[in-house]
Amino acid sequence: MNPKDTHRAVRGSAAGCRRVLMSLFLGLLTGQLLTGCALGPDFERPRAPAVTQYTQGQEPARTVTAGGQAQHFAYGAKISADWWQLFKSPQLDLIIKEAVAQNADLQAAQARLRQNQENLRAGYGIFFPQVSGSFSSTRQRFTTAQFGAANAPGTIFSLFTSSVSVSYLLDVFGGQRRTVEGLAAQVDYRNYTALATYLTLLGNVVNAAVAQAAYGAQIEATDQLIGFQKEQLRITETQAQAGTVPYANVVSLQAQLAATEATLPPLRQNLDKTRHLLAALVGRTPGEWTPPRLRLGDFTLPQEFPVTLPSQLVRQRPDILAAEATLHNASANIGVATAAMFPNFNLTASYGQTADEVTKLFATSANIWSLGSAIAQPLFRGGTLWHQRKAAIEAYQASAADYRQVVVTAFQQVADSLRAVEHDAETLKAQAAALAAADQALRLVQANYQAGLVNYLQVLTADNQYQQARLGYIQAQALRLQDSAALFVALGQGWWRPEARTGKELE
């Protein structure tokens, strides 16, 4: 073939390709005009509960003053994402930073989010024409005997074929759009699940850090009491040898000392378990990571709580939003099941060349093309499609009930946390008064004992009361800090600032 023939062949091939593509374009345009609706319900966000407060009776505006501090509740206010920094503990900030960077649960939630994002991007491909190309070469022998003709010598030849095919599924009844809508809802679910994992991680770290400090304080207080009791035992033994006090006092003090020492191993075990928990939260094994030393005095009690209004909680708390995304996905699945009961429309087109020599593929006579359309209508499936749609509807009803329960549970947790913070202050105030009274009583009894005005049984009683009061005060301090953190988590505080979500892009 000379160059001019080749040029004409290529030009003819291009013209044919343009005609095919123009026909395909017109078909796609017609299809788009037909795809004006999507079957199934259009999703609507559930309404917020028609309540104006979380608890029964009057909600607290402030707590009583305990430990020299009162906490205030600012209803309707917002707070920065880094709410844990209100505790003003540099050691806590370091632990949280490491936990956010290395916690395996959070990394898994982020990976699942990215997985669903990629599935959504893959789902969008259904809205575009599916184009594929092929090239084949075969060597074959042909004989007319294959068609029942008289046997004749066979012919051996080669066949070369190149083609481009295009297909497009007309989404007339919106089944594909509902499918993609469901994929988008799954992305939302994973996004809010990751955010919920993030907030839960923050709450667990703060809770464990405060618990570590509290156990350390209880161990320190118990060690001090043991030292005091040992000194009293030494003095009492001396007095018993001198005959000034009965030996029964020595035995009583020995029993009290043994009982006090028996409380140390459980406290140390709890301290170790808390340290191991902190190591796990930061994604490390207990043997390779040791948390920094924390003391209750290192934590500052947050003075103001920005309490989300009930109407806003359902638009802010991640677990509620995740349940809403699940409900959205269930709604989209109804549309998918409904559309499956109606016809499918598909357009196809192909263009190519076939010849017995590669050099002839560009000749006009080698051009091949086809245009086609297909309609497929389910006629009888034994009720399968109908019942699948009914199952999708019931799945939606189940998701709606799950959503309502998540909302109810969330409101319960906020109410519990509000009252906990309120009552923690009352408890701490009472424990502070009890500790002050026990300390004064112990000092008076010790002075009277040294003056010989009271017996040692009274000293033991005062010792025990002081010990219980001091441990109770430490526990009340820790519980007030922990419940303060729990309220922040219950309100879903702080994730709206993207840069503070997890240190990585979650949307």
Sorted by sequence, the CB contacts under 8 Å of residue 302 that are 6+ apart come out as 71, 83, 86, 87, 484
Q: Please, which residues bridge with residue 306 across strands?
A: 74
Share of the chain above pLDDT 70, in %: 88
Q: Which pLDDT belongs to residue 248?
A: 86
**Based on the structure, what is the number of domains in the chain?**
1
Sorted by sequence, the CB contacts under 8 Å of residue 7 that are 6+ apart come out as none
DSSP for 428-463, written as a single string: HHHHHHHHHHHHHHHHHHHHHHHTTSS-HHHHHHHH
Mean pLDDT, to the nearest integer, of 149-177? 84
Which region among 31-45, 112-126, 307-321 has the lowest average model confidence (pLDDT)? 31-45
Mean pLDDT, to the nearest integer, of 443-469? 83
From CA 414, how far away is CA 25, in angstroms rounded?
57
Q: Please, which residues bridge with residue 372 across strands?
A: 348
Is residue 19, in this structure, part of any structural domain at all?
Answer: no
pLDDT category of residue 439 using cuts at 50, 70 and 90:
very high
Q: Which pLDDT belongs to residue 462?
A: 86
Q: Strand, helix or coil at 87? A: helix
Is residue 507, in this structure, part of any structural domain at all?
Answer: no
Q: Which pLDDT belongs to residue 77?
A: 84
pLDDT category of residue 11 using cuts at 50, 70 and 90:
very low
Q: Which pLDDT belongs to residue 148?
A: 64
Which region among 85-89, 93-97, 238-242 has the lowest average model confidence (pLDDT)? 238-242
Is residue 350, in this structure, part of any structural domain at all?
Answer: no
Is residue 39, in this structure, part of any structural domain at all?
Answer: yes
Mean pLDDT, to the nearest integer, of 211-238? 90
CB 136 within 8 A of CB 206: no
**Structure confidence by residue, pLDDT tens digits, 343-390:** 989 999 999 998 888 888 878 888 888 999 899 888 888 899 999 999
**Structure confidence by residue, pLDDT tens digits, 249-287:** 889 889 989 998 999 999 999 999 999 999 999 999 999
- To which residue do tokens 């916690």 refer? 103
HSE toward the beta carbon, residue 177, CA cutoff 13 A = 15
Mean pLDDT, to the nearest integer, of 316-325? 95
H/E element holding 157?
strand 155-170
pLDDT category of residue 149 using cuts at 50, 70 and 90:
low
Q: Which pLDDT belongs to residue 13?
A: 44
Is residue 433, in this structure, part of any structural domain at all?
Answer: yes
Mean pLDDT, to the nearest integer, of 55-64? 90
**Structure confidence by residue, pLDDT tens digits, 402-415:** 999 999 999 999 99
Q: Show the tokens assigned to 218.
A: 């209880």
From CA 360, how far away is CA 19, in angstroms rounded?
21
Is residue 361, in this structure, part of any structural domain at all?
Answer: no
Q: Which pLDDT belongs to residue 350?
A: 92
Q: Which CATH number belongs to the domain containing residue 91 in this structure? A: 1.20.1600.10
Sorted by sequence, the CB contacts under 8 Å of residue 34 that are 6+ apart come out as 170, 172, 345
Is residue 128, in this structure, part of any structural domain at all?
Answer: yes
- Rank 23-32, 33-42, 196-205, 221-230 by mean pLDDT and report only the highest: 196-205
225-229 own/partner pairs: CB under 8 Å, 24+ apart = 225/260, 225/463, 225/466, 225/467, 225/470, 226/257, 226/260, 226/261, 226/264, 228/463, 229/253, 229/256, 229/257, 229/260, 229/463
Is residue 140, in this structure, part of any structural domain at all?
Answer: yes
Q: Residue 1 above 90 pLDDT?
A: no
CB 382 within 8 A of CB 27: no
Q: Which pLDDT belongs to residue 500?
A: 40
pLDDT category of residue 133 using cuts at 50, 70 and 90:
very high
Mean pLDDT, to the nearest integer, of 111-140? 92
Mean pLDDT, to the nearest integer, of 27-52? 73
Residue 135 structural domain = 35-342+377-500
Mean pLDDT, to the nearest integer, of 292-302? 93
Residue 445, Cβ density class (10 Å: 0-12 exposed, 13-18 middle, ≥19 buried) = buried
Considering the chain, what is the average pLDDT of its residues? 86
Q: Residue 19 above 70 pLDDT?
A: no
